[in-house]
Amino acid sequence: MCAWAVAVVRRLRRIQASLSASRRLLEVELNRRYELVDALVVAARRADAPSAALAPLAGARSLALGFREQQLTLGEQAGSENALSVALHRVLLEVAEDPAVKNDWSVQRPALEVRNTEQRLVGAARVYNGTATALNTLVRGLPAGPVARAFGGRPVPLFEATAAELHVSAPTAAPANS
């Protein structure tokens, strides 16, 4: 029985260490994305790209950074990061199709770096979520859960936007006057 409890605690410590490392990896990729988004916006403005998509991107970046500075959990930050990804993909699509900047390397290079960083960010989020799921399963499960909780194991939120954060309400039509 004692050997089993020691094995549970070791597993808990191993998962917690992996979770810490995967969180750092996720934060590195988020920081890289913030820097590259800024560079992309500057390059696109210099190349006179249409600003219809650039303003929402800059706003989404500011929102995500604001949430991050409030030191919210990754689960709470996920909604703003998702909004940033949506705005970013809109700009990347526009940059790829706009004839004015389609062949402008000063815009395409940051766009390519952003695409690569987005892929690394998706991978980092998968690693973090997989590790967080393993920790949550250990802490909430039986019979190991009580032992894990006794040694400091706590459930952690996943890095994903909830359905409430993703809900976008459609604009309501003004009532017709008869």
Q: What is the pLDDT of residues 90-145, one digit of tens each?
A: 999 999 998 888 899 999 999 999 999 999 999 999 999 999 999 999 999 999 99
Average pLDDT, the chain: 90
The helix (run of H) or strand (run of E) holding residue 176 is none
pLDDT band at 5; cut points 50, 70, 90: very high
| pLDDT, average across residues 39-55 | 90
- Calculate Rg over the CA atoms of the chain: 21
Q: What is the pLDDT of residue 167?
A: 45
Hunting for tokens 């210099």 — which residue is that?
Answer: 46
- Check pLDDT > 50 for residue 18: yes
* CA of residue 77 relative to chain centroid, distance: 7
What angle separates helix 74-97 from helix 105-140, to the nearest 10 degrees?
150
pLDDT band at 163; cut points 50, 70, 90: low
Burial 138-164 (b: 16+ CB within 10 A, else e): bbeeeebbebbeeeebeebbbbbbeee
Tell me whether residue 91 is exposed, middle or buried, using C-beta atoms within 10 angstroms of its C-beta: 0 to 12, 13 to 18, 19 or more. Answer: buried
Task: Give me the residue spans of the domains in the chain.
Answer: 2-159
Hunting for tokens 């809900």 — which residue is that?
Answer: 167
- Check pLDDT > 70 for residue 6: yes
| Nearest CA-CA partner of 94 in 59, 30, 45 | 45
- Check pLDDT > 80 for residue 161: no
CATH class, domain 2-159, is mainly alpha
Alpha helices by DSSP H, listed for 1-158, are 2-46, 54-69, 74-97, 105-140, 144-150
| Nearest CA-CA partner of 94 in 65, 55, 63 | 55
Q: What is the pLDDT of residue 76?
A: 87
Enter the pTM of the model.
Answer: 0.86
Q: What is the pLDDT of residue 172?
A: 39
